[in-house]
Structure 1
Amino acid sequence: MKIAVTYENSQVFQHFGHSEQFKVYEVENGAVVSQEVVSAEGSGHGALAGLLSELHVDTLLCGGIGAGAQNALAQAGIRLYGGVSGNADEAVQSLLNGTLRFDANVHCDHHHEEGHDCGHQCGEEKHGCSGN
C-alpha cells in the first residue's frame, strides 16, 4: 500500500490543488516501511492525480479538495480521505490504526463563497480546489 499526504511543514496541507509537496509512505503489513517527500512541481489537480498515479499511490489524505480533483483521483483508482488536518505522520498512523478522523463528504467550493479563509486570494487562478 502507498499512502500520499498533501504536505507542508510536517502538516497535512489543507488545499489539494495548491499542494507543492506530498509525503509518500510505503506500508507493508500495517506498518510504514519507508517515506519520502515528493515535489508536486506546481501542477493543478488533474496533473496532481496523474503524479500520484505514476507514484503508484492508492490512498490520499488531504484537507480540502474540489469535485474536479475528486473525480480525477477516482478515475485514477486512488482512495480519498479528505478533511484531514494535523501532523502528517500522525494522520497516517491513525489511518493504519483505524482511528483517522476525516470527512467522507469533504468538498471545496469556497471560490463561490464570501468571508472564508482558504489561504489565498480567491480571484487567483490556482487550478485546483474547485476544479477550475
Structure 2
Amino acid sequence: MKGTDNMKIAVTYENGQIFQHFGKTEQFKFYEVEGGKVISEQVLGTNGAGHGALAGFLKVMGADVLICGGIGGGAQMAVKEAGIALFGGNSGSADDAVAAYLANALVQNESPTCDHHSHEHGAGHSCGHKCGE
C-alpha cells in the first residue's frame, strides 16, 4: 500500500451512497488522493462483473483501498490477495466515508459479512447493510 499521501480509494457506489452488497456492485466511485487530499473522483461501471471478477477489476483499476458495505468471505480473501486494504461493513455517504478514511477515523470492521442463512435479524442487529433486500 502506498500510504495516504498518494493512493486510489474505491467505494462500492449507488446514488451517492456506499452500495451494500459487494458481489452485486454495478458501480465504483474512485478517488485519486495526493498529499492526503482527494484530487479527482470518477464513477465507473463494472460491466456486469460479479463476485469473483470484482477484486480483479479493482486491481486493474489500481485501487489501494476498498470501502464497502457487506462483503462475503471469498471476496474478502480475493481483495486481500489483490493487495487492497479492505474497510467493509460501512454505510452512508461515499464521500463522507472517504473523508473519514483520510482523517484516520473510518473504523475497519473485522466482520463485514452478513450470512442471511445462519442467524435471525433481531433488535440491535447490525451487519453493515440493509438485510432482507
Same fold (TM over 0.5): yes
Query: Does 1:89 pair with 2:102?
Result: no
Runs of 5+ in structure 1 lacking a partner?
Answer: 120-132
- 2-side partners of 1:106 and 1:66: how far apart? 8
Alignment-derived partner of residue 62 in structure 1: 68
For 1:3, the aligned partner's letter is: I
Runs of 5+ in structure 2 lacking a partner?
Answer: 1-6, 122-130
- 1-side partners of 2:113 and 2:53: how far apart? 19
Alignment-derived partner of residue 45 in structure 2: 39
Structure 1 residue 101, shift from structure 2 partner: 3.4
Q: Which runs of 4+ in 1 moved over 6 A?
A: none
Given the superposition, is the C-alpha separation of residues 75 and 102 from structure 1 closer, same or farther in structure 2, using an over 3 Å criterion?
A: closer
Structure 1 residue 58, shift from structure 2 partner: 0.9
For 2:8, the aligned partner's letter is: K
- 2-side partners of 1:109 and 1:115: how far apart? 10
Q: Deviations over 1:77-118 (max 9, x none)?
A: 1100011111000100000001113412212322x2466524
Q: RMSD of the alignment, in Å?
A: 1.4
- 1:1-132 equivalences in 2 (<5 Å): 1-110=7-116, 112-113=117-118, 117-119=131-133
Q: State the TM-score, normalized to the length of structure 2.
A: 0.83
- 2-side partners of 1:64 and 1:105: how far apart? 9
